[in-house]
Amino acid sequence: MPTNESGSAAKDYSKMYMPVAVIVAGVLIAGGLYFGLAAKGTAPAANGQPQAVNVKDVKTDGEPFIGKADAKLVMAYWSDYQCPFCKAVEVGGIPQIPIAPSIPTLIKDYVDTGKLKIVFKDFVFLGEDSTTAAEYEHAIWKLYPDKFYSWREAMYKAQDDEGDKGFGDAASIDTLIKKLGGFDVAKIKADVAANKAAYDADIQSSTQEGGKFGIQGTPGFIIGKQSIDGAQELAAFKQAIDSQLK
């Protein structure tokens, strides 16, 4: 079954996500092959052939992260705040994607114990709300790095309809931030406005970089020298991590 938001042929979830699949199918035509390469240390190159991956080749400087800066293993994680598969892997709550969220356990077992650093990368393609959320992400990381992950978690819990409808525009994100407390909403909005061009350039660069590593939908991961595609079960992540921590 499909495990990420991409243009590959949908199966179980086709009715739920067909509008997005139709939009991006022409661009992301190789997505089907990618599912079969999850957690095997390769990602599809532009010609469809496997390519080696290494998180050391990923731009991580200046990107939001959780964990020890010098953790032994690094996981780069490409996501879109409007992606339901990202919500499934981070906080769960998507009936049509019946998996337990993997990220909370990874944080508990590997990040909090100093073994793993998770770097968050943008792969924005689901609409204007996706870009808006990513802009806020950059501002909050800059202004409130210690509160970044609590905000990110709240963003995914608040996610509703995919794309530019429901939660996800600036006004709804402002309301969420006010409810969280400990943030100066006016300061965040001012930072987004002042740095929008720079943030948008970084967002686009991160999305393009993901494509170069074979990321063709969200969520997408590179853990050390292994790639994982989609909202996989916890066992796939643990295998990739444990095998490289030995």
DSSP string, 140-179: HHHH-GGGHHHHHHHHHHH--SSSSSSTTSHHHHHHHHHH
Residue 17 domain flag: no
SS3 content of the chain, % helix, strand, coil (to 5): 45, 15, 40
pLDDT at 161: 75
What are the average pLDDT values for consecutive 10-residue runs of the chain, which has 246 residues?
52 35 32 34 46 92 96 97 96 92 98 98 94 98 97 95 80 96 97 98 96 92 95 96 95
Residue 12 domain flag: no
Residue 16 domain flag: no
Residue 24 domain flag: no
Residue 47: how many other CB atoms lie within 10 Å: 7
Residue 13 domain flag: no
pLDDT at 182: 95
pLDDT at 114: 97
Beta carbons of 202 and 60 less than 8 angstroms apart:
no
Whether the upstream peptide bond of residue 104 has omega within 30° of 0, thus cis, is no
Beta carbons of 199 and 134 less than 8 angstroms apart:
yes
Beta carbons of 9 and 32 less than 8 angstroms apart:
yes
Residue 74 domain flag: yes
pLDDT at 25: 32
Q: What residues make up the domain containing 124?
A: 38-245
Residue 216 domain flag: yes
CATH of the domain at 66: 3.40.30.10
Beta carbons of 230 and 217 less than 8 angstroms apart:
yes
Residues 6+ apart with CB under 8 A from 45: 51, 214
Residue 170: closest CA among 87, 85, 81: 81
pLDDT at 2: 57
pLDDT at 101: 96
Residue 164 domain flag: yes
pLDDT at 165: 72
Number of H helices, E strands in the chain: 9, 7
Q: What is the pTM of this model?
A: 0.82
Q: Is 41 helix (H, G, I), strand (E, B) or coil?
A: coil
Domain tally, the chain: 1
